[in-house]
């Protein structure tokens, strides 16, 4: 059980302490009538049943305790609530090859992509999102979820060291999406491939056509510049060097827009570009908003069941008994 307003419980403890202090203080016959004679006081107290006074006080204290507990907002367990939304299933395939560490887009290609994607996820409403990471191979990193905070948390943990097998295997990413979501209904699945476009396999266009037949609309996002950039490699925590080829020459990685445009065309989608001069996530959001939506049912466990009603009933019962309980000896 949890309490929604724990400060009310602290106030309750104060009230009970104060009541207990006063109860012992007024137990003396001479407290209420300090200036009266003993004969008058004894006549008054002889007409009062002390046991009933004790029971009346007990019911008042009990009522106060349960009223305070009710005010603290007791909650038990979780309330499962089914929520229906209109949306699409968005599968983000993010390139984690070492070329994504190039800094021709500030602060780096990967960091720029993660920032734009986090802004896109924050703007979603009713859609589910999934993440695939790929380099030389690929895997489903985050299954479909409508928990956008969790999706952003997972997204922020992605780096270029996640996959040991290096390269940019766009085909593997598309295959993973097809395999993972092949049982879903058509027309409501969007794949967003975010990469610098260095496809080392050459089958991605054919697979994009296959994915479109399986209900996917494939959009691609190029990350990088036409001028290209060097690939930094960490030597230790304080220094780095740039990647070189076998002939000891520095490697410049250049954005390959053409392959990404071809994939988008085959997947019946659009090509976008993450660079230093635009907020591309807004354009992607506009395209998603125009798509036909499906009804997505999800179970939410975020709400507790309130149980204050039972404490209020006990409190009312205790106060009523205290009010109606007679204290005279004759009653």
Return the top range by mean pLDDT from 41-45, 176-180, 236-240: 176-180
- What would the pLDDT profile of 30-72 be if each residue is shown by its tens digit? 444 555 556 655 665 666 666 777 777 777 778 777 777 777 6
The larger pLDDT score, comparing residue 245 to residue 185, is at 245
Higher pLDDT residue, 148 or 325?
148
Please provide the DSSP assignment of 205-245 as one string.
Answer: HHHHHHHHHTTEEEEEEEES-SS-EE-EEESSSS-EEE-B-
- Tell me which of 102-106, 152-156, 202-206 is least confident: 202-206
Could you tell me which residue, 316 or 52, shows the higher pLDDT? Answer: 316
User: Tell me, what's the pLDDT at 4?
Assistant: 52
Q: What is the pLDDT of residue 327?
A: 67
Rounded Cα distance between 230 and 247, Å, is 16
Distances (CA, A) of 123 to 94, 146, 157, 255, 286: 19, 12, 20, 27, 10
Most confident segment among 149-163, 221-235, 276-290: 149-163
Poorest-confidence range of 195-204, 215-224, 268-277? 195-204
Contact of 305 with 79, CB cutoff 8 Å: yes
Total number of residues shown for the chain: 331
Tokens 């009653």 correspond to 331
Q: Give percent of the chain above pLDDT 70.
A: 71
Report, as an integer, the average pLDDT of 205-226.
91
Paired tokens of 281: 């996530």
**What structural domains and CATH numbers belong to the chain?**
2-73+307-324 (no CATH), 82-299 (3.40.50.410)
- In this structure, how many other beta carbons lie within 10 angstroms of the beta carbon of residue 91? 28
pTM assigned to the model? 0.66
Q: Which residues contact 97 (CB under 8 A, 6 or more apart)?
A: 135, 136, 160, 166, 167, 168, 196, 198
Q: For the chain, give the mean pLDDT.
A: 80
Query: How many whole angstroms separate alpha carbon 189 and alpha carbon 267?
Result: 11
User: Could you say which DSSP state residue 15 is in?
Assistant: H
């Amino acid at each position: 059980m949890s309490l929604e307003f724990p400060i009310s419980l602290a106030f309750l403890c104060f009230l009970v302490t104060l009541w207990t202090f006063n109860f012992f203080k007024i137990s003396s016959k001479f407290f209420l009538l300090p200036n009266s004679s003993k004969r008058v006081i004894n006549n008054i107290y002889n007409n009062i049943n002390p046991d009933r006074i004790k029971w009346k006080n007990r019911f008042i204290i009990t009522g106060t305790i349960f009223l305070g507990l009710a005010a603290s907002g007791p909650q038990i367990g979780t309330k499962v609530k089914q929520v229906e939304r209109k949306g699409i299933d968005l599968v983000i395939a993010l390139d984690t090859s070492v070329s994504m560490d190039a800094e021709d887009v500030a602060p780096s290609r990967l960091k720029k992509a993660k920032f734009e994607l986090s802004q896109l996820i924050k703007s979603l409403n009713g859609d589910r999102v999934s993440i695939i990471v790929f380099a030389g191979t690929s895997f489903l990193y985050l299954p479909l979820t409508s928990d956008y905070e969790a999706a952003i948390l997972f997204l922020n943990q992605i780096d270029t060291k996640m996959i040991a097998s290096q390269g940019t295997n766009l085909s593997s990413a598309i295959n993973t999406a097809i395999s993972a979501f092949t049982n879903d209904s058509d027309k409501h699945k969007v794949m967003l491939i975010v990469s610098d476009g260095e496809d080392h396999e050459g089958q991605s266009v054919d697979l994009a056509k296959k994915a479109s037949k399986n209900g996917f609309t494939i959009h691609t996002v190029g990350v990088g510049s036409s001028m290209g950039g060097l690939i930094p490699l960490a030597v230790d925590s304080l220094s780095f060097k740039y990647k070189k080829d076998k002939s000891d020459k520095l490697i410049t990685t250049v954005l390959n827009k053409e392959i990404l445009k071809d994939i988008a065309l085959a997947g019946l989608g659009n090509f976008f570009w993450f660079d230093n001069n635009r907020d591309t996530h807004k354009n992607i959001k506009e395209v998603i908003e125009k798509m036909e939506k499906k009804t997505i049912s999800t179970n939410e466990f975020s709400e507790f069941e309130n149980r204050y009603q039972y404490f209020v009933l006990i409190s009312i019962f205790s106060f009523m008994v205290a009010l109606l309980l007679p204290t005279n000896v004759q009653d």
